[in-house]
Amino acid sequence: MTKPMATSSSHPIRLGVTGTDTGIGKTVVSCALAARARVLGLRVAAMKPIESGVVERPVSESGLASDADRLRAACGSLLPLSVVRPYLLEEPLAPMIAAARANVEIDFDVLDAALAQVEQHVEIVLVEGAGGLLVPIDLRVSYLDLFARWQTPLLLVAGNKLGVLNHVLLTVRAAEVAGVPIRAIVLTALSDRDASVAEATNYDALVTLLPHYTILRFPWVDRPDDLDALATAAEVGGLDVLLAPLSP
């Protein structure tokens, strides 16, 4: 595990956006939270420390092909992509594997330096991981270790589908063991069709199973590049609670 990065009281609110799986809406929720923050007059920045598989992703209606592009646009950021996304790997694989196949070594000092740039002059910083919390960055370090290094509380994005209860509980247990706090769990709608029985009951089940956690619901957004629509979805989903510091 990497050593914790030094922090100070002057740091902005940090949120590490992780998920129960890949393709369950981490970037959409991150962009929505950034868009909502800007509506509320807050200065926000985001980063995607390592992004892989961009060349195989379809280009959106807005012409943005990568998560980092979308995050930067949602924040209204002028930071270069090399800071927002220090490492870009071609193959759509876990960073450890994609980096090894590309003969790239992930340097955590480089990531630390990028975070220090990203969080200058802002009040909120969103750090989006890849896939789930234990996805390996290298042989010894996962995203959980990176969030622990940066002392970054988690926003756990969970796709509302059959199996999500197990995925959320496993992720919560891993975070608890590592001592990394979870600010909220966001259950995302993955389509606009009628809900199955599992989809209709997952939220209440999570509230019952995890009574001490904040659990929110994020609605389906059919225009994921429309920042106004995303900001509205964040408001409707109650994500404003994440834009205030934790009480001491």
Residues assigned a catalytic role: 48
Q: Residue 176 to residues 135, 187, 204: CA-CA distances in angstroms?
A: 17, 19, 22
For helices 227-236 and 26-39, angle between their N-to-C axes, nearest 10 degrees: 90
Q: What is the DSSP letter of 142?
A: B
CA distance 3 to 108: 10
Which tokens hold the place of 182? 């979870």
b/e string for 182-204 if b means 16 or more Cβ within 10 A?
Answer: bbbbbbbbeeeeeeeeebeebbe
Surface-to-core class of residue 41, CB atoms within 10 Å of its CB (0-12 exposed, 13-18 middle, 19+ buried): exposed
Alpha carbons within 13 angstroms on the beta-carbon side of residue 130 total 26
